[in-house]
Amino acid sequence: MNTDAGFWCVVPAAGRGSRFGADLPKQYMLVAGKPLIQWTLERLAAHPRIAGILVTLAQSDPCWDAMGLRLDKPLLRVNGGNQRADSVLAGLRGLPESVADGDFVLVHDAARPCIHPGDIDDLVERGLEAGGALLAAPLRDTLKRAAEDSRVQETESRDHRWRAMTPQFFRRGELQSALESAQRRGVAISDEAMAMEQAGFRPMLVEGREDNIKVTTPADLAIAEYLLQRE
Ligand code: CTP
Ligand code: MG
């Protein structure tokens, strides 16, 4: 197992940012003086348990080369796919051969720049024990189910409901098979844990910091800027 050498991290960054609605993909928006993806990658690379990073980029990526990013850890790039799960699968396939099937890998969205080292420590520690884990946060808001006309149909219990975040932490081979199986069955997969669940695994929910936000809209970018400037 690769516990001493550290773990590779796959970073899907091939999205278009359609909900963000800017001219460039949101991962290249400037936040506190740097492209958002640079914050994410520098934070990952600074973590002692991360051995290397593989980013998946859109084939027509407009910005990566111009950014000229250098990290003090190995940094690989491959082309992503149409859906996030396709990009993650492409990333797993592109990892160096030194990453064995039984080795654990992290998957972390480029769009989560505020990842904190302590969360990675917790995820790795609990994930190694549990055979796979993800960062998540218990739901805090009251949950409403909407009817077709946007009126409340009912209020649902918040108990035992969590919001899944990244990083997620699984064995390379198991995750790759789980994603391939979902792809063959034509099931839309929204995160790694979902693919693992469908393959019969029971990923461990590890409570992470609420400020590990995903930048989806311009309002999120403003929050990320605030958080990153404070640190
Ligand atoms: N991603 C990817 N390949 C895709 C789609 C998404 O690598 N085909 C990446 C995004 O770049 C992002 C992460 O997966 O870092 C999470 O996806 P999301 O927040 O949904 O980003 P986008 O898909 O770019 O945004 P949107 O859904 O609003 O278009
Ligand atoms: Mg998306």
Specify the amino acid at residue 110. Answer: A
Q: What is the pLDDT, as a whole number, of residue 231? A: 83
Rounded CA-CA distance 160/85 in Å is: 25
| 112 contacts 215 by C-beta, under 8 angstroms | yes
At 5-22, the pLDDT tens digits run: 799 999 999 999 999 999
Query: What does pLDDT average to over the chain?
Result: 97
* 218 Cα–ligand 2 center, Å: 15
Q: Which one of 84, 109, 216 would you pick to mutate in the ligand 1 pocket, going by the greatest count of ligand atoms within 8 A of its CB?
A: 84
Pocket test for ligand 1, best of 11, 18, 53, 109 (most atoms within 8 A of CB): 109
- Please report the pLDDT score of residue 150 as a whole number: 97
Q: Verify whether ligand 1 is closer than 6 Å to residue 91 (CB atom).
A: no
Assess whether the C-beta atom of 111 lies below 6 angstroms from ligand 1: yes
Q: What is the pLDDT of residues 48-75, one digit of tens each?
A: 999 999 999 999 999 999 999 999 999 9
87 lines ligand 1 (CB under 6 A): yes
Atom of ligand 1 nearest to the CA of 216: 19
pLDDT above 90 coverage of the chain, percent: 97
Residue-level pLDDT at 2: 53
Whether the CB of 217 sits within 6 Å of ligand 1: no
Q: What is the DSSP string of 75-137?
A: EEEEE--SSHHHHHHHHHHTS-TTS-TTSEEEE--TT-TT--HHHHHHHHHHHHHHT-EEEEE
Task: Tell me the CA–centroid distance for residue 83 and ligand 1, in Å.
Answer: 8
User: Cα of 187 to ligand 1 centre, how many Å?
Assistant: 17
Kindly give the residue spans of alpha helices, DSSP state H, lying in the chain: 36-45, 64-67, 84-93, 117-130, 172-185, 192-198, 218-230
112 in Cβ contact with 15 (< 8 Å)? no
Decide the pairing of beta strands 30-31 and 34-35.
antiparallel
Tell which atom from ligand 1 comes closest to the C-alpha of 20: 28
Mean pLDDT computed over 78-94: 98
184-207 confidence digits (pLDDT tens): 999 999 999 999 999 999 999 999
Determine the pLDDT at residue 5: 78
Minimum-distance ligand to the CA of 24?
Answer: 1
pTM for this model (two decimals): 0.97
Q: Flag whether pLDDT at 4 surpasses 70.
A: no
Q: How confident is the model at residue 3 (pLDDT cuts 50, 70, 90)?
A: low
Question: Which domains, and CATH codes, for the chain?
Answer: 7-230 (3.90.550.10)
The predicted-structure confidence for 137-176, as pLDDT tens digits, reads as follows 999 999 999 999 999 999 999 999 999 999 999 999 999 9
Q: How is residue 152 annotated by DSSP?
A: E
Residue pLDDT, tens place only, 91-105: 999 999 999 999 999
Q: What is the pLDDT of residue 120?
A: 98
Give 59 Cα–ligand 1 centroid separation in angstroms: 14
